[in-house]
Amino acid sequence: MKILISNDDGIFALGMRTLANTLAQAGHQVTVVCPDRERSATGHGLTIHQPIRVEIVDSLFHPLVTAWSCSGTPSDCVKFALSAVMDTPPDFVLSGINHGSNLGTDVLYSGTVSAAMEGTLEGITSIALSLASFTSREFQPAADFALTLINKLTEQPLKQATLLNVNIPPVKREAIAGAILTRQGLRRYIETFAKRIDPRGKSYYWLAGEVVEDLEQPEHIHLPGHIPTDVQAIQENYITITPLQYNLTDIFSFEYLYQNQWFDSMI
């Protein structure tokens, strides 16, 4: 398979390197285009007010991996790869393995998920992969699962291009409870802006956040309540697989507004 890999942790990130090398060793044709530095929480931002610079990267990866570093955002990286690096579209776009989870509403801010979504926008089945820990460096179980998932998707392709958001619990391989299909959950943070003073006496602020645990998870308009959210399932050491789409239309509110003819008297 022809596979494009990007991330938001940067070209030197261990998670992405583990993923790329694992897939290359399995015989896949791997191209890597990643930011030249940490670009986490950039969302789906694009670089349009300054040039994007790229460089070929040698010696960091398996010999069969072609790698580039890019000065832009994760979304820039995938756009550049699809338009300027690869002569034909890849079979899959993978993003990660991110160092830290991307659960629930994290996906709205995530550069990891946005890079994968860029592939989905181009009609390519894409996978965002995240290790649900900022301290664990055991990326191999996640990389092995990515290989298994790609093989499964090759044998049984999805009916349409979809983004699969995958989170892997930071536990030993034998402690993983299994892989489970989940719906997107809710994740909130207690946010603080820490005020500090720079050497010139001017104030600046540093955003910090702490996850609010045990939130009541929202119901889904179409999916039954017994299907767990990614936030719930990861706590039980399941690998979570959540299909995501880029169409954000709120069907419930649309139907309510349409049925009540909200806007007929406003024009």
- Residue numbering of the annotated binding site for a divalent metal cation: 8-9, 40, 98
What DSSP assignment string belongs to 18-63? Answer: HHHHHHHHTT-EEEEEEESS--TT-TT----SS---EEEE-SSS-T
Identify whether the C-beta of residue 124 lies closer than 8 Å to the C-beta of residue 116.
Answer: no
Query: Cα(146)–Cα(29) distance, rounded to whole angstroms?
Result: 15
Residue 122 φ/ψ region, left for φ over 0, alpha for ψ in the -120 to 50 degree band, beta for the rest = alpha
Query: Cα(227)–Cα(225) distance, rounded to whole angstroms?
Result: 5
Taking the chain, what is the end-to-end CA distance rounded to the nearest angstrom?
A: 54
Let me know if 72 is exposed, middle or buried by CB neighbors in 10 A (0-12, 13-18, 19+): buried
- Residue 260 CB-half CA count within 13 A: 8
Q: At residue 5, what is the residue type?
A: I
Provide the annotated binding site. 8-9, 40, 98
Bridge partners, 80 (sequence order):
none
Query: Cα(40)–Cα(50) distance, rounded to whole angstroms?
Result: 19
